[in-house]
Structures are given as structure tokens and as C-alpha cells.
Structure 1
Amino acid sequence: MKALEEFFIAFSNAAWGMPLLILLMGGGFFFMLYSGFLPFRYLGHAINVLRGKYDDPNDPGDINHFEALSSALAATVGMGNISGVAVAIALGGPGVLFWMWVSAFVGMATKFFTCTLAVMYRGRDSVGHLEGGPMYVITEGLGKKWKPLAAFFAIAGLFGTLPIFQANQLTQVIREVVLIPNGIATTNTFFWNLGIGLTLVVITSMVIFGGIKRIGHVAGKMVPGMVVLYMLAVFYIMAMNYVSIPAAFALIFEDAFSANAVLGGAVGAIIIAGARRAAFSNEAGIGTASMMHGAAKTDEPIREGLVAMLGPFIDTLVVCTLTGLAIILTNAWQTSDGNGVSMTAHAFNTSMPGIGSYVLVVCVLIFAFTSLFSYSYYGTKCFGFLFGAKYKHYYNYFYVATIVFGAVASITAVIALIDGMYAMMAIPTMVSALLLSPKVMRAARDYFRRMREFREEQVEKERLQA
């Protein structure tokens, strides 16, 4: 097991080198400039699309805009926001949070391009069902000769979307916050971890074997509530430590460029650490969210791109920032011996003694389960692309079995494996998006021209009626 863990770490570190950082961050900056900062200029229109103002039940697809975003957020707003941020701060110091913000800003532009393409170049699976995602963007947009690149994404996606990180951290928080302090479990953790893992298998199976429509319905109900609950909890922590808020932001900016605390003082290393955790958090440029948004009921690709770009804003700029502030304000990053979710639990308990860790447990349960539900959909799409849609349901059996592995494995091995596979998924996603970006901008100009003409017609009708 130790040798396997070391292999995963070496693989992850090699994958997340400077070339990938340039592809993700540099590609995101290119999208931002090339689009003329479109994600920020059309935020209002994106919110109207999300509210269902332009929904048409007869449009092709499986789920509406809100369910598509909620399902994508169910995967991204998860353990990456709670324990992933804690891991990042433990490894890279508070300055990592700044580079997560930078990644989120450029990630909004990346999401707009990749998810617009996911609808623009939807394809048919082997049974004729309409599907979206990077593998179909590649084969439909770039041509069949690019299919090996699409297969490369799908193979990486089989492992990158496994639920092992969520299962690992959910098991840890239940064991360390609920079971051990109350004398229910002992420090002999393997059998308790195994029992928790098997319980997660049962609960997850009840949802994921129902398919994308059930996943979308469940996510649409749970995601808004989980974000609000978590925000209220952190706002309370901020209120209890309001005097320290200016100093916390000052520390984030100072550490982002000095990187004195960790990683040998290498600013480049701290940027990579921030980009890795941001990618794990909001998945901009990775390609998973494209698969979910590709299932949206719409025949206007630009609309889905606009909805998708809200993801990094909600996920990283809001939720990850709240987690980071809770950890920094309570000084948990220096006083806690734990890593991942244990550090976040320490921060909550510092400001809310006795109940803080239990509040976090509730949030973690919702965050982790919605992620567990949504990630299965990504894996089945990758499996169906590689082996045929009629066999894709078999992937779910493999998926739920790995929940047990995640529950008993070390967090180091789990993070390294997922990070490495995310890096592999980013390569075909970003390459195809960069090559097809002119098609996106051509469609965007046409879409917004039609929207202007529509508004002008509405104004003229109102004037004539008056």
C-alpha cells in the first residue's frame, strides 16, 4: 500500500507541472481576453437564463438549466470546498487562497467556452441518445481522426470522477467528530471505516441507479440549501472574529507573493498548489461539468455556457473563500494537528464550542452525498463512450465498490490519484476548447445580436400599444 501511495504522489506531482499550469491558467486568461470579459458583462443575462426565463420544455436534452447547474455544483461544491481548501492551506499557507481566486476568475471564462461547446457539439451515443461532454466535443467538433484524444479523456474520467475523496473525508469526519468523541468507536479505525463505507454504498446506490433525471432532481433540491446552511455557519464565525478580518485578507495577499511559510518559499509552487485545489474545487477546464451541462434542455449553446460560468463564482469565490476565512480567522491552520476536514472542524469548534463540529458534520453529509451522486453520472458517460451506452450502467457497480476503498485508504493516496487524473482530463478538454474557441465567439456574436433585436422588437411593440 505504501508503494502504491508513493506511485500516486509521484504521478500527481509530475502531471501538475508548469506545462499544465500554463495550459489551464494561460488558457483561461486567453478565453477571458478573447471573449472581451464576456462572463462579467453578461452576468445578469446568465441569471435570467438560470431562473428559467428562456426555458422551453420541447428543447432537446434531459434536465433544465437550473438542474444542470445544480447537478454540476453538487459535484464541485463538495468536499473540495471544505477539506480541499484545508489541505491547500496546510500545504501552501493562506496565500494559496489568492491563487484559487485567480483560477476562479479565469475559470469562469473557461467554463463559458467548454460548456458552450458541450451543447454546440453534442453527439449520439451507441443507442442514439443525445450526449455532451469533451469526448463528443472532440469527435463532433474536431473530427473522427481526433477520437484517440477523446478516448484519452474518457479513460482518465473513469478514475478522475471516482468518489474516493468524498468517501474518505466523510468517513473521517463521522469517525473523528461523532463516533470517537462519544465513545462509540475506538481508535482501531479500519473496521469502523469499512462499516461507514458500506453504509455510504447503500445510500448512494439508491440514487445513482435512477439515472441522470433522478440525480438532477435530488441535486436541485439539496444544493441551494446546503450552500445557504454553510454560508450562515461561516458568517457566524466571521461575526465572532470580525476584528481579525482585515488582517486575514492582508495575510492572504502577503503570503500569496512571499510564500515564506511553506513549499521552500517558491512562489511558483504556491501558485501550482492553488491551481490544483481550484481545479479540484470548480473543475474549470477539467471537463466534468461539461458532461452535466451537455445534458441541459436547450438548443442555444451560448445560454448553457452563460449558466455554467456561474459555477466557479459560486464554488470558489464564495464557498471556498468562506472555508479559507474560517480556517484563517480561527488560526486553525496553525493550531490544528489535523489535515483536510479535521482542520475545518477545528475551526468551526473554536468559534462554536460544543456544536461547531456537529454543524460541520451536517454540511459535510449534504456536500459529500451530492458529490457522490453527481460523480457517478460522469463516470457512466465515460464508460458508455468507451464500451457502448448499453453497458454504461455496469460502471456504477465499480463506482460504489470504490467508495469502500476511499473510506479505508489514506487521504494522501486518495488526493494524489484524483489530482493526477484531473490533470490528464484537462489536457484534451483545454486543447479542444482552444482549437474550437473561434466557433464559440461566432455563435456568441450571433446569439447576442438576436437578443438585441428581440429586445428592440419588444420595445417597439410596447411603444405601439401605448
Structure 2
Amino acid sequence: MTFAEATSAFAAYAWGPHMLFLLVGGGLFFLFYSGFAPFRYLKHAINILRGKYDEPNAEGQISHLGALSSAMAGTVGMGNIGGVALAMVAGGPGAIFWMWVSAIVGMATKFFTCTLAIMYRGHDDQGVVRGGPMYIITEGLGPKWKPLAVFFAVVGMMGNFPLFNTNQLVTIVKEWVVLGPDNMGTGGASDHFWLQLGLGAIIMVVVGSVVLGGITRIAAVATKAVPTMIVIYVGCAVYVIGSHIEQVPGYLAQIVTDAFSMKSVAGGILGTLLIGVKRAAFSNEAGIGTEVMAHGSAKTAQPVKEGLVAMLGPAIDTLLVCTATALIILISGVWQQGGVDGISLSSRAFEETMPGVGPYLLLLCVVFFAITTIITQAFYGSQCFRFLCGSRYVPLYQSFFLLTILFAATTSLNNVVNLIDGAYALMAIPTMISAVLLAPKVKVAAKQYFASLKQQ
């Protein structure tokens, strides 16, 4: 069995129908179990994000805004641009509908998992407060559940290697900056290998200069870069949608009808649904557990507040950014032409809908999205490694993490996608199991918190 065949088999096994039950079924459980209460406090969540209820003296390392920005730096990236293109090629427009569904139930999932992130924080071997599924499991479920926490930490390190974002960033820079659109596909394999390796080395140096500063530096970079890039990216989408507004209702209808088509390119409704859920998991990470590590670093003594802030994430990165990408691709029509995938397809869509300037605006967003995502992944992986091996050897992990950037820059897209998809599926198992078991604790805390708001 070749490496490509092995990675494909790994992803296929990990993303069986059981993942629908775990992620979508679990999300629906959280949605109904909460009585939709968190959704009635969206305005309050925004006020928390604005700093109205900050607790500067509380335990933690970063603000609510810093926590959400750090979490979104890890989610708003190639999953929202290249990932949407992958979803449409593999599952057709209907996959976007199931991404929407996953985002809505994912909001409820994030409320529960990120409330637990504060409720059951732990301390590392240096006494620093830490959050994440591994601490939720050990602090909330008890020492006998530690093997499940160890399992998450092991697959969490694998899932947070910077493979997909590096691969796609190198691809778009190579195609639109170095080779140029007129010379795409030219040159020998060895020429491209050394070019890609060189681009990977540049990314490695840039990322290394930030990740060694820890979560406070990551949050500082993310807080400045992510909102700006979202505004630019959504601005491009507004321009494209506005100039083709008469076509938009038809494409939205196509997304819905294709979601229930037995003739979809994915082989029917179940195939389309699986692809949509898989790509949504990579887009917003609800139920995967990575975002829990970012929100677990927030300065707050009130767990429900962080759960409300975290709930905003899927609404922004999937319902807003992914929908923007999908409409640009649909309007361009390039998704039906074949021959390209991932970020290459998205860049062609931008070229078709915004000739000349489009791909370079996309390139600007992609550079910032990808770099901030890779930086956040380094933090997530370090958290997992620290839980397993202690703080002393974290620099060794960070060095290995940076070296994987070179591998990702020179390997194929399919290998990268399969490795990350498989790891994400495995990460969801301990995250969702622990969240479901501890859901009653969240419900009690939420009931008390919402009652206190009514008395104010």
C-alpha cells in the first residue's frame, strides 16, 4: 500500500457514518438540551466581546476578544477558502447546505465545550492555568478517564500540524506571484520542489518568530490581523454578489435543492451530508476540541460568558465567510470545469469574478489567514504536547512543528487533506464524549447565569 492509499484509507475509516451521529447528533442534543437559551443572548455575547464585562484580575492569560480572535485565527483560514472549494468539487453545491446545518448545531456545541473549558481548567507542571479537552476530561470526569485525555492529546498534536494551510499558501503564492498566471504548470517537478521548499522555509521563519512568544503574542497578532482580513474578504464577496445580485437567489436555491438530491456527485444525500459535515468541522472546529484550548486561556471566572463568546465563532467563519466563498465560486462557474482543486479553484473564481485584481486580493487574505492559522495550530499542538510531556520539552516539539511546514510545502494536497481529516475525526471522539457527559453541569451553570442577568 502506497502512502497516498494509506492516508486515504485512514481518512475514510475515521470519517464513517458514526461521525454524523457524533458531531451532528451531539450538536442537536446540545441545541435542544439547552432549550435554545444561549441563542437568546447573542446581544449579550457581543457586549462581552466588546469588553463590557471584562475581568482583568481573573485567572487566565488573554481577554474574551483575544480568545475568540485566537480561536478564529485557527478556524478562519484555508478551511473557509480552499476547504469550501474542496467541498463543492467533492459534494456539489449541496455540501454548503450541510455546512450551514453543522454551523448552527456547532454554535450550541461550542457553547457547551467552551463553557467547560473555563469550568474545568487545569494547571501545567509550572502552575500556569491551561484549558482544553484533556483538562476537561481529567478535571471534570476524574483520573480514571485520563486515557481518553491522553488519546486526545496524541491525535491533537497530529491534527494541528500545519499541513493544509501551508500546502495551500505555498500553492497560491507559487501560482500567482512566482510563476504568474501565464506560466502555471510550466517547469519541471524538481524546479517546483525547490521552489516550494524555499517558500516553505520562508513561512517557517515567519511562523517561528511568533509562536515562540506564546499565546499572548499569538492573541496580539490575531486580534489585529483576523478582523481586518475578514472585512477585506467579505468586502470582496459583497462586491461580487452585488454585481451579480440577480443570480444569487438561484444559487441559494441550488445549494438547498442539491443537498437533498439523490444524483449528487457525492453519491446521494448521505455522501453530500458527510462531505459538508467534514468540511464544516475543518472550518469551524465545533466539537473537535482545538478551539477549547484557546477559550480556556480567557481571563474570566464565569464559564458561561466564555461559552457565549465562543458560540459566535461558527456564525462568523462558516455562515458568513464560507457562504461568501461558496457564492463567489458558484457565480464564477469554475467549479464545474474540473482540473483544479482547493485554493487553485478559489483563485480562479476570484479571477473570473474580479478580473486582474481578484486573485491578488485573495492572495493578501490567504497569506494572513494561513499564517495566523498556522501560528494558532502551533499553540494548540504545544498544549497537547505539554499535557503529555511537560513544559520542559515544548521547544523540541515547536522545532518539529516548524519542520513539518517543509513537508507540507512539498507534498500533495490529497495526502495533506487525508491526514488532517482523519486526525480531526479522532479528536472529536474524546471532545464530544466528555462534553455530553458533563452537559448537566453546563446547564445548571447557564440557568444560574441567565437568571442573574434578569435581576440586573
Specify the code of the residue in structure 2 equivalent to 1:273: I
Match of 1:378 among 359, 377, 380: 380
In 1, Cα distance between equivalents of 2:140 and 2:429 = 16
In structure 2, the partner of 1:407 is 409
Q: Is 1:212 equivalent to 2:211 in the alignment?
A: no
In 2, Cα distance between equivalents of 1:332 and 1:39 = 39
In structure 2, the partner of 1:242 is 245
In structure 1, the partner of 2:342 is 340
Q: Is 1:329 equivalent to 2:335 in the alignment?
A: no
Specify the code of the residue in structure 2 equivalent to 1:197: G
In 1, Cα distance between equivalents of 2:262 and 2:292 = 34
CA contact (8 A) 1:121 1:137 kept: yes
In 2, Cα distance between equivalents of 1:162 and 1:230 = 25
Q: CA deviation at 1:184?
A: 8.4
CA contact (8 A) 1:127 1:390 kept: no
In structure 2, the partner of 1:305 is 307
User: For residues 145 and 44 of structure 1, do their structure 2 counterparts lie closer, same or farther at Cα, with a shift above 3 Å needed?
Assistant: same
In 1, Cα distance between equivalents of 2:326 and 2:181 = 28
Residues 26-80 of structure 1: per-residue CA shift (max 9 Å, x gap): 0000000000112321101100111111102101000000000000000100010
Q: CA deviation at 1:394?
A: 2.0
Identical pairs, percent: 53
Match of 1:434 among 433, 436, 441: 436
Specify the code of the residue in structure 1 equivalent to 2:305: R
User: For residues 341 and 182 of structure 1, do their structure 2 counterparts lie closer, same or farther at Cα, with a shift above 3 Å needed?
Assistant: closer
In structure 1, the partner of 2:187 is 187
Within 5 A, what are the aligned runs for 1:34-73? 34-73=33-72
Specify the code of the residue in structure 2 equivalent to 1:320: C
In structure 1, the partner of 2:356 is 354
Specify the code of the residue in structure 1 equivalent to 2:199: I
In 1, Cα distance between equivalents of 2:284 and 2:421 = 13
CA contact (8 A) 2:175 2:181 kept: no
Q: CA deviation at 1:389?
A: 2.0
In structure 1, the partner of 2:206 is 203
TM-score, normalized by length of structure 1? 0.95
Q: CA deviation at 1:183?
A: 7.4
CA contact (8 A) 1:104 1:313 kept: yes
In structure 2, the partner of 1:32 is 31
Specify the code of the residue in structure 2 equivalent to 1:306: L
In structure 1, the partner of 2:130 is 131
Specify the code of the residue in structure 1 equivalent to 2:247: S
More moved, 76-85 vs 13-22: 13-22
Specify the code of the residue in structure 2 equivalent to 1:238: I
Q: CA deviation at 1:153?
A: 0.1
More moved, 172-181 vs 370-379: 172-181
Tell me, which stretches of 5 or more residues in structure 1 are unaligned?
456-466
Specify the code of the residue in structure 1 equivalent to 2:294: M
In structure 2, the partner of 1:463 is none
In structure 2, the partner of 1:464 is none
In structure 2, the partner of 1:271 is 273
Within 5 A, what are the aligned runs for 1:413-424? 413-424=415-426
In structure 1, the partner of 2:152 is 153
User: For residues 100 and 118 of structure 1, do their structure 2 counterparts lie closer, same or farther at Cα, with a shift above 3 Å needed?
Assistant: same
In 1, Cα distance between equivalents of 2:250 and 2:394 = 51
Specify the code of the residue in structure 1 equivalent to 2:16: G
Specify the code of the residue in structure 2 equivalent to 1:206: S
Q: CA deviation at 1:303?
A: 0.2
Match of 1:316 among 318, 333, 354: 318
Specify the code of the residue in structure 1 equivalent to 2:399: Y
Tell me, which stretches of 5 or more residues in structure 2 are unaligned?
none
CA contact (8 A) 2:264 2:272 kept: no
Q: CA deviation at 1:216?
A: 0.5
In structure 2, the partner of 1:102 is 101
CA contact (8 A) 2:328 2:353 kept: no
Report SS of the residue matched to 2:51: coil
Residues 223-256 of structure 1: per-residue CA shift (max 9 Å, x gap): 1101000001111111222221111011111110
CA contact (8 A) 1:86 1:327 kept: yes
In 2, Cα distance between equivalents of 1:426 and 1:393 = 27
In 1, Cα distance between equivalents of 2:263 and 2:240 = 27
Q: CA deviation at 1:451?
A: 2.0
Within 5 A, what are the aligned runs for 1:112-131? 112-131=111-130
In structure 2, the partner of 1:175 is 174
Specify the code of the residue in structure 2 equivalent to 1:262: V
Specify the code of the residue in structure 1 equivalent to 2:369: F
CA contact (8 A) 1:336 1:346 kept: no
In the alignment of these two chains, the number of paired residues is: 452
Q: CA deviation at 1:11?
A: 0.7
More moved, 442-451 vs 105-114: 442-451
Report SS of the residue matched to 2:424: helix
CA contact (8 A) 1:241 1:330 kept: no
Q: Is 1:224 equivalent to 2:227 in the alignment?
A: yes
Q: CA deviation at 1:259?
A: 4.6
In 2, Cα distance between equivalents of 1:230 and 1:260 = 33
Q: Is 1:5 equivalent to 2:4 in the alignment?
A: yes
In 2, Cα distance between equivalents of 1:414 and 1:62 = 32
In structure 1, the partner of 2:287 is 285
TM-score, normalized by length of structure 2? 0.97
Report SS of the residue matched to 1:42: helix
